[in-house]
């Protein structure tokens, strides 16, 4: 049996027919009875209350009786659902089938305009809500509003929605409060492959041992916090994946990050620059920490900086594989 | 036109017919002529050398002439290919279509027995090479041997093959040397969703800001190195994903890791324990750094330990969402 929901104003219109109207309930919810009101709203004017409300520790129920069969699809609305989806790098064959299924099931798609454009082959019948770059709070608020109104909403991010993308803002906005209906939305998160993983798979296995991910964007994070993380990454000898290495107004952070890591690991440490990975115009470059130049990166680049153990191995085609060994055993045992 | 390959012994049998046999080439390759030998081997006994070898800076070529049409599929062998595949958490709908396509294309599958079992619906016609847990070097060597012999091999890992899995060992074994044919294999890496991403998506967005991944396995990494990384993670206030938190013989590292992080972040810091994610018997628990008990984790658990900014928010169903805000703006601006 599908669960259906009513807003407080609809329930309040049933007040004259309630068996147990309550001012306390009204002050908390905006209607004088939730269970009885919902039962009456579901059966409509021709129906009546068959069982007045009963309470248990965790729920209250009431039963309405209708002279006709009730069609649940036109009674009230569904709970509303928000699927937070990671599209992976961008190509159709790098999205998981569970993400595709959630896209097909959704009534509404919310996301950055260019990501929705990538999905047009699946878009038939969808209400699309494209947003411009940067309007993240408006985007997520709109998605929550739609879901709270009973829509089945897909909020899309490229890569993994949980890594430097939209997912965390959903929970941040819910916690800020002021929208009790947002907290009641059913939320489903489905992961996707993030840019650092694509860069790593293309080039070998640079993330083959302990690594960290650091965003160089100081839009929401003060530079001293970012700098502290970079120093810790250097101290810990982590492989470092840098997201948002530069922006149009911001380039100095990248040079500072490079300089911090240069103090702690060899000049010839391999560095991987992946740009537009998984989309047309993809490029991948291998360089070294010594030769790394901020001019080599842009907003669409993910940067992987090796740990001290990370190695570049010649390929017969003249290129290199980059990998970080699983441990330190091969160093002490030599070439076995 | 497909490229086809011959081993040195096959080429050496063409020595009597070579226009330019070379002792130098023999010492380097094990046959007296590569280009002419290959042309002659391709056209067979009825053919002859139409053009003797010519050299450029990067290549040498020779042309053979056959009285019949040459069927390339029965001449020599293909180059051999190794696809390093991440299966994601395990369910069919969490594997990317590009990984499925590589599995279908492969002639041979190599992997841990239980992962191959997960793939049985696609297994028709595949030669399977199941390995027991722990036999990683034997597994990867076998995959490289098969590919070097011209097979189209899929080497499978759960999660992302590039994150604490098989990929890095491929390049480590190639670099160790002793198998020149391994280095000539065509290698394709395709990423998958790793366990920390599944745990994060299920529970909210704990990886929503800078994070690191640390394996607590001291099988190949000495404990002082792991400990240094844990201290750096504490200093940098990273969200920490712990892989391989314990094993059957090893439990003390997990308590030590917890104690290091306890010194640097609040007792109520949220901790997520994800076990068997994406498979039957999946479980997910939310606890705090203060209450975290080594008895709560096993070999199949991935552990996410929040940063100081990570928050647990009540859900209407009595559970919690865990998320790490994108930055620090919300702290200073208050609830807007």
The Cα–Cα gap between A261 and B236 comes to 14
**Å between B139 CA and nearest CA of chain A:** 15
For residue A279, what pLDDT band results from cuts at 50, 70 and 90?
confident
Query: How high does pLDDT run on average in chain A?
Result: 93
Does pLDDT of A331 surpass 80?
no
User: A336 pLDDT exceeds 70?
Assistant: no
CA distances to A149, A206, A252, B193 from A273, rounded to whole Å, are 43, 12, 17, 21
Q: Is the pLDDT of residue B330 over 80?
A: no
Q: Which residues of A touch B321 (CB under 8 A)?
A: 171, 174, 187
Shortest Cα distance, chain B CAs vs residue A217, angstroms: 10
pLDDT digits (tens, 9 = 90+) for B255-295: 999 999 999 999 999 999 999 998 888 999 999 999 999 99
Per-residue model confidence (pLDDT) at position B328: 62
pLDDT tens for B311-324 read 999 988 889 999 99
Q: Give tens-digit pLDDT for A30-77.
A: 999 999 999 999 999 999 999 999 999 889 999 999 999 999 888 988
* Rounded-to-integer distance, Cα A111 and Cα A90, Å: 14
**Contact at CB, B221 and A191, closer than 8 angstroms:** no
* Strand, coil or helix: B261: helix
- Is the CB of B268 inside 8 Å of chain A's CB atoms? no
**pLDDT single digits (tens) B289-308:** 999 999 999 999 999 999 99
What CA–CA distance (Å, rounded) separates A215 from A111?
Answer: 21
**What are the tens digits of pLDDT across the range B138-178?**
999 999 999 999 999 999 999 999 999 999 999 999 999 88
Residue A168 at interface with chain B, using a CB cutoff of 8 Å: yes
pLDDT, average across residues A277-301: 94
Q: Which residues does chain A have within 8 Å of residue B176's beta carbon, measured at their own beta carbons?
A: 330, 335-336
> What integer is the mean pLDDT of A107-125?
94
Q: What percent of chain A has pLDDT over 90?
A: 82
Would you place residue A202 in the very low, low, confident or very high pLDDT band (cuts 50, 70, 90)? very high
pLDDT at A332 over 50: no
Question: Contact, A210 vs B238, CB < 8 A?
Answer: no
How many Å apart are CA B11 and CA A331, to the nearest integer? Answer: 37
Any CB–CB contact under 8 A between B213 and chain A?
yes
Alpha-carbon span B31 to B11, nearest angstrom: 6
Task: Name the pTM for this structure.
Answer: 0.90
d(CA A31, CA A21): 9
């Amino acid at each position: 049996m599908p669960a259906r929901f009513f807003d407080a104003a609809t329930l309040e219109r049933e007040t004259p027919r309630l068996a147990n109207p309550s001012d306390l309930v009204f002050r908390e919810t905006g209607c004088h009875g939730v269970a009885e009101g919902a039962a009456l709203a579901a059966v409509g004017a021709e129906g009546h209350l068959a069982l007045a409300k009963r309470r248990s520790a965790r729920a209250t129920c009431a039963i309405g009786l209708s002279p006709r069969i009730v069609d649940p699809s036109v009674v009230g609305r569904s709970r509303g659902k928000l699927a937070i989806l990671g599209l992976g790098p961008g190509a159709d064959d790098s999205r998981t089938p569970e993400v595709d299924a959630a896209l097909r099931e959704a009534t509404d798609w919310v996301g950055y305009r260019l990501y929705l454009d990538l999905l047009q082959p699946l878009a038939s019948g969808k209400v699309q809500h494209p947003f411009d770059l940067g309007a993240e709070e408006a985007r997520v608020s709109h998605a929550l509003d739609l879901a709270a109104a009973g829509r089945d909403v897909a909020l899309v991010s490229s890569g993994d929605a949980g890594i430097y993308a939209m997912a965390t803002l959903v929970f941040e906005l819910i916690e800020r409060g002021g929208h009790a209906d947002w907290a009641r939305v059913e939320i489903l998160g489905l992961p996707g492959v993030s840019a650092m993983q694509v860069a790593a798979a293309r080039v070998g296995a640079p993330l083959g041992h302990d690594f960290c991910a650091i965003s160089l964007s100081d839009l929401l994070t003060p530079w001293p916090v970012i700098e502290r993380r970079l120093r810790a990454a250097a101290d810990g000898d982590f492989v470092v994946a840098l997201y948002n290495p530069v922006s149009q107004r911001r380039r100095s952070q990248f040079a500072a990050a490079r300089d911090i890591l240069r103090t702690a690991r060899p000049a010839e440490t391999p560095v991987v620059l992946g740009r537009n990975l998984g989309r047309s115009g993809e490029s991948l470059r291998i360089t070294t920490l010594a030769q790394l130049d901020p001019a080599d990166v842009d907003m669409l680049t993910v940067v992987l900086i090796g740990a001290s153990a990370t190695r570049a191995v010649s390929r017969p085609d003249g290129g290199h594989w980059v990998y970080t060994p699983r441990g330190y055993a091969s160093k002490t045992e030599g070439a076995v």
